[in-house]
Structure 1
């Protein structure tokens, strides 16, 4: 059986086929990487930098109040989570009349963040539910407002199984 000779045309077609496969794989991987990119952590780093002094002042005001705010999050049987926040002032008295809100933020993907609306269930006790919370690590962010001004902010890493 005689083999066909290797010609310049065959070598050229093999090179084109090889580089075509490499370029095709690179384009496919690039499109997949761009489609799954979650984006930036903040929309405008410049604007975030401008608000930095206000955040420091708000943190100092919060520390001066000496409030004790305890949060407890627990998995529900339906896959959700129940969040309870208890707020007490410096003398240990319950703090009522605040508007608390919570967020469960994924450390790796902002698209999975969940908001938790909290309502006052008792004097100084605020509760809320989050539906279909995936297991894993979350950042629990709690914000308290009084008369439209943020008076409390807390961020803690939690693990939900």
Structure 2
């Protein structure tokens, strides 16, 4: 019984106890902050454009060009498969469209490890194919379709590839 009583007896809280408590508390805080700072510096840079001032000066011109291209009414649909990516290009009426060249810049929303540039080859009736299977997860594709010297489609689209390689909504 005296053993149990001795466990529950209040003990003296000294300056040494307070020092150890404060060192442990701030040690945990500083360690977590250093780890998070390291992850922030060693992962994705967050850089979207190399020079934001130049990008801001070109914004109105690029916005006008985007509106003119969008007014043409072309659209794309993605069809990933095991061998690569198929893009279906359609006109304003929803019919297959022809482009002399079709390219896509594929990026991950975070990170640059899987980024790639794809050049598509015509595969008949508005279908364009590029080799290179896409890994599961989120992707952003900046697609540009040209007919001669005219840009008929230029837009960024976000899509998700499922575990079985299919497109997810």
TM exceeding 0.5:
yes
State the secondary structure of the residue aligned to 1:83.
strand
Structure 1 residues 91-106: aligned runs within 5 Å:
94-106=97-109
Matched, 1:121 2:122: yes
Aligned-partner Cα distance in 2 for 1:116–1:71: 18
Structure 1 residues 4-153: aligned runs within 5 Å:
6=12, 11-37=14-40, 38-43=44-49, 44-64=51-71, 66-76=72-82, 82-88=84-90, 94-106=97-109, 109-111=110-112, 114-122=115-123, 124-131=126-133, 133-135=135-137, 137-145=138-146, 152-153=153-154
Moved more, 88-97 or 46-55: 88-97
Is the 2:88–2:128 contact (alpha carbons within 8 Å) kept by the matching residues of 1? yes
Distance 1:25 1:143, change over 3 A: farther
Is the 1:144–1:152 contact (alpha carbons within 8 Å) kept by the matching residues of 2? yes
The TM-score with structure 2 as length reference comes to 0.65
The alignment yields a C-alpha RMSD, in angstroms, of: 3.5
Count, aligned residues? 149
Residue ranges of structure 1 left out of the alignment (5+ in a row): none
